[in-house]
Amino acid sequence: MKNFMKHILALAIVFATLSSNATEHAFLNNKEDGKTILMFGTVSQGDQLTVKDAFGIILYKEAIIKNGQYNKSFDLTALPDGNYIFELDKQNQIRVYPFTVDKNVVTFNKEKLTVVNKPKVTSKDNNIYITAHNPEQANYTIEIFYDSVENTTEKIYSETFKNTTTVGKKFKLLEDKDEAYEVVVTANGRAFTSTINF
């Protein structure tokens, strides 16, 4: 009973901390059954949670169905020894939480948490606007492709930004073109694709 109360107290403290800071997260390894409790202070409906191995293969995927706090128990000890990640894909960013499994022991390294800020691509009045917050100063590559009615794709713009914390571009397109454009922004080894129709 004493042990049980300790676990309840620990969870209550973590939940109190999480509710006071929306960006906090926690991983608790339960020593009794080896399961890991994953908790996020704030998630939104539509967020995607995945577990991936070192090769990027998705081992688990879940769509978040309600806003608020999230907590779930995972038995990660059954995974083969190696490196893995939890990935929380949110509306404006992707948060990557690496962990290792070694002889049924799960270890999280909170210092290696990485955050990939998604670029924002919008359009209005034959203009395309691309903005991105880039605190890590990762290289950002912007490519724009023009899809014509003849079903041919032509790259009409390409540029790489280096050593900058903010990326912002505006593109004025010809007004007599009403076909589709595809914007591909690559950052941190990930490609984000948006289709623009005028």
One domain, residues 131 and 87: no
One domain, residues 49 and 18: yes
One domain, residues 6 and 93: yes
25-29 and 127-133: which strand pairing?
Answer: unpaired
Q: How many helices (DSSP H) and strands (DSSP E) are in the chain? A: 1, 16
Of 64, 84, 116, the residue at which a domain comes to its end is 116
What pLDDT was estimated at residue 56?
Answer: 92
Q: What is the CATH number of the domain that holds 84?
A: 2.60.40
Task: At 114, list the tokens.
Answer: 């990485």
Query: Looking at the chain, how many residues does it have?
Result: 198
Show pLDDT as tens, one digit a residue, over the chain (198 residues).
444 333 433 333 333 333 333 345 677 666 567 788 888 888 999 999 999 999 999 999 999 999 999 989 899 988 999 999 999 999 988 999 999 999 988 888 878 888 888 999 999 888 999 998 888 888 889 999 987 767 778 899 999 989 888 889 999 887 766 678 899 999 888 899 999 887
Of 101, 116, 131, the residue at which a domain comes to its end is 116
Q: What is the CATH number of the domain that holds 133?
A: 2.60.40.730
Domain range enclosing 134: 118-197
One-letter amino acid for residue 189 of the chain = G
One domain, residues 110 and 123: no
One domain, residues 42 and 74: yes
Using CA atoms, how far residue 181 sits from 148, 156, 170, in Å, is 9, 10, 14
What pLDDT was estimated at residue 174?
Answer: 74
Per-position DSSP letters for 43-106, written without gaps between them: E-TT-EEEEEETT--EEEEEE--SSEEEEEEE-GGGSPSEEEEEEEE-SSEEEEEEEEEETTEE
One domain, residues 125 and 111: no
One domain, residues 125 and 40: no
What pLDDT was estimated at residue 79?
Answer: 93
What pLDDT was estimated at residue 136?
Answer: 80
One domain, residues 6 and 73: yes
